[in-house]
Amino acid sequence: MTGQSTSTTSAEWQEFGRTLRTWRERRDLSLRDLAERIRWHFSLIGKWEQGKNRPPAEAITALDAELDAKGELVTRGLRAAMTDADRWRKVILEAKASTRDEGEDMERRRLMRDAAAVAVGGTVAPALAALTDAWQASQPRIPGASVSQEMIDDWEDAADIHAKRAYVDPPAVVLAALAADFTDMAPHLSRAQPEPVQSDLAHAAARHAALIAGKWFDLGNRREAHRWWTKTRTLSERSGDTLLAAWLTGREVLYRRQDPGENLDDVLLLAEQARRLAGNRPSVPLVAALCAEAQTLATLGRHAEAVAALRKAEDVFDQFPSQIISLDSNWALCGTYYDQSLIYTLAGDAKRATEAQRAAEGLYPAEHRTAILIALHNAALNARTDPEQGAQQALRLVEALPVARRDVRVRATARIVLDVTPEKARALPAVRELRALTMGDRSA
């Protein structure tokens, strides 16, 4: 792929280039080696390193993933894109004196939205920002508030869209879109609002914050992930919705239990907190909390307790009314098949794991993250009896993904194959190759 990239001489893109070169040399790769791996021409990569051209978003995410840069290249790319947006706006838009309290905030939101658009390869960022601002300005404000009901509803709808796209898009692309929406909300969160408006705003913002935390985790940046999980808990509390708090706390558990640097006993306490927040009435957050607890117990090797927690989740799920309004309707419709597949795979119960994997067939598109992770569970089952076959199956699944989608959770799931492989088989070529493909996350 040759592609087009935008000429730029900004200091931020030059810093991006220096960082790119540092990571490439750290991995002992030539320009041609790296070009072959990410399928961009080596001369373009050379120009990116020199800061002469701006790489498109898909190249940045591929570079970050291939070099295992743990989100640093994505972060520097977003920062440089913000500088571009600032420059564009100064050229394209006439400077206007602020006549309203929110004037400076509007400008800052525009710049951030421009940066997000640049990060996903858009060159029409100023026009997109102007359209969004015009739409928001046309909506009647709630009395005493700085927002309209339509704006709040739009942010809630956006959270649904981001959550669905997160299953199929590279983490950096989702993060850029989330950055634009959260930056729109941020100034309103810091202002005094009528109590119902404050709660509704916090509700939408908490959902965005949780997704932002998850995408930072997927990119390997634990520090940013933890910062945003803290923000999620603060916003959930401000929303006054304990079921939302339970749901989002459970989501945090599902990420953190896959981090080899975490104390899993602490993660288990967080899962128990999610279950307490969910209460006793049947709900999706209660099932999710029980499943998060079961997954953590299974990861700890406490398989009997994990299965017991999973069965409690299944009992609650069976009590759902036929028409349930869920925070994640796709998850509710698909039941607990993923959890069953993971927990029984870790427990070595091939019969029940295989049943769950077969039940999940056809429920997810092939490119859906859940379908890929369940297929990796199946590879782990095979690795117990045929390590070479299991490792080759896992390699095919991971290598079939674009580099930008081989994120922390995909690699963590692939490592289950290594964990269950018998000691005497760990020198097999396919096992060694899988280890090399997935081990980069361990030092994060």
DSSP 84-149: HHHHHHHHHS------STTHHHHHHHHHHHHHHHHHTT-S-HHHHHHHHHHHHHHSPPPTTSSS-H
* Rounded mean pLDDT, 47-71: 84
* Rounded mean pLDDT, 133-148: 80
Q: Look at residue 69 and tell me whether its pLDDT is greater than 90.
A: no
Q: Look at residue 129 and tell me whether its pLDDT is greater than 60.
A: no
* Rounded mean pLDDT, 174-194: 88
The predicted-structure confidence for 384-405, as pLDDT tens digits, reads as follows 999 999 999 999 999 998 888 8
pLDDT recorded at residue 2: 43
Q: Look at residue 100 and tell me whether its pLDDT is greater than 50.
A: no
* Rounded mean pLDDT, 244-265: 95
pLDDT recorded at residue 293: 97
Residue given tokens 């373009």 in the structure block: 44
What confidence tier does 307 reach under pLDDT thresholds 50, 70, 90? very high
Q: Look at residue 110 and tell me whether its pLDDT is greater than 60.
A: no
* Rounded mean pLDDT, 292-318: 95
What confidence tier does 134 reach under pLDDT thresholds 50, 70, 90? low
The per-residue pLDDT of the chain, averaged, comes to: 83
Q: Look at residue 55 and tell me whether its pLDDT is greater than 90.
A: no
Q: Which residue has the higher pLDDT, 83 or 157?
A: 157
Q: Two tokens at 70?
A: 């743990």
As a whole number of angstroms, the distance between CA 436 and CA 219 comes to 18
pLDDT recorded at residue 327: 43
pTM above 0.85, yes or no: no
pLDDT recorded at residue 266: 97
Q: Two tokens at 443?
A: 């030092």
Q: Two tokens at 162?
A: 């981001």
* Phi, then psi, of 5 in degrees rounded to 5: -140, 155
pLDDT recorded at residue 107: 45
- Residues in contact with 324: Cβ distance below 8 Å, sequence separation at least 6, in sequence order: 284, 332
pLDDT recorded at residue 355: 95
* Rounded mean pLDDT, 257-269: 95
